[in-house]
Homo-oligomer: A and B are copies of this chain.
Amino acid sequence: MKPLVLPPLARPDGMTTHDYAFNRLRQAIMVGAFRPGTSVTIRGLAEALESSPTPVREALRQLTSIGALQFLENRRIVVPHITPARFEELILLRIALESHAARRAVAHLSERQIEKITAIDDSIETEIRKGNKVAALIANQAFHRMIYSANPDPVAMPLIESVWLQLGPILGIAMEHVTELYVVDRHREAIDALRRRDEEAVADAIAADIREGIGGFDQQAVARLLRLAA
């Protein structure tokens, strides 16, 4: 129960122990390193991160605030379970949030930024072709984040990432069971719409992208896996 393979993550100079723990755990959950129902302990993580309980507890508390973890009544700390209904709500919430965020970002995107976004989209395909699932997932998130963050007041971004974190554990299961990766996204469509500054078309492309494939994965497959995770 205590192998605890935590994806590595560089620790920039001057970063506090707490911030490091938070970012590392957050990233781990975001890319599906923990399965639903997994329980973690403060002391265990403190040891794994070579620190002490105090900063780790703060990081865990923060992660519960954004729905990534859950403090149960019996004081146990677990990765939340996901029911099919909850999964459906999260996807619909992604669509509502991200199509809104995309629409509000269009006017602020420079040509240069759109080029950068196109480059990220290319890197997604590259990673998929190389079979590197986690890298493809991270690149896909970067694609979406880059668009929404063009808004000078990206108030929706933290909320979007909260939803991503809640979907993270599902992605972990999906990546375990999906051997074949295939590109099924609406990214080119979204980029074209960005170039035309067509807010509605961008929002529609993003909505379709989310609906048809969660982070590059086939939704039907994920739905099937949900039964395994329950």
User: CB of A54 within 8 A of chain B?
Assistant: yes
Are B54 and A86 touching (Cβ within 8 A)?
Answer: no
A83 to B63, CA, bound (A): 27
Q: Give the contacts of A92-107 with B (CB-CB under 8 A).
A: 92-93, 96-97, 100, 104
User: CB of A197 within 8 A of chain B?
Assistant: no
A228 CB, nearest partner CB in chain B, Å: 20
Are B93 and A152 touching (Cβ within 8 A)?
Answer: no
Give the contacting residue for A166; candidates B63, B86, B88, B155; CB below 8 A.
B155
A67 CB, nearest partner CB in chain B, Å: 6
Give the contacting residue for A153; candidates B89, B96, B153, B159; CB below 8 A.
B89
A221 to B62, CA, bound (A): 35
Are A86 and B153 touching (Cβ within 8 A)?
Answer: yes
Residues of B within 8 A of A100 (CB): 92-93, 96
Give a binary string over A87-129; 1 marks a CB under 8 Å from any B CB, 0 the rest.
0111011001100100010000000000000000000000000
| Given A66-B65, A83-B153, A158-B67, also A96-B96 (CB < 8 A) | yes
User: CB of A47 within 8 A of chain B?
Assistant: no
A83 to B88, CA, bound (A): 35
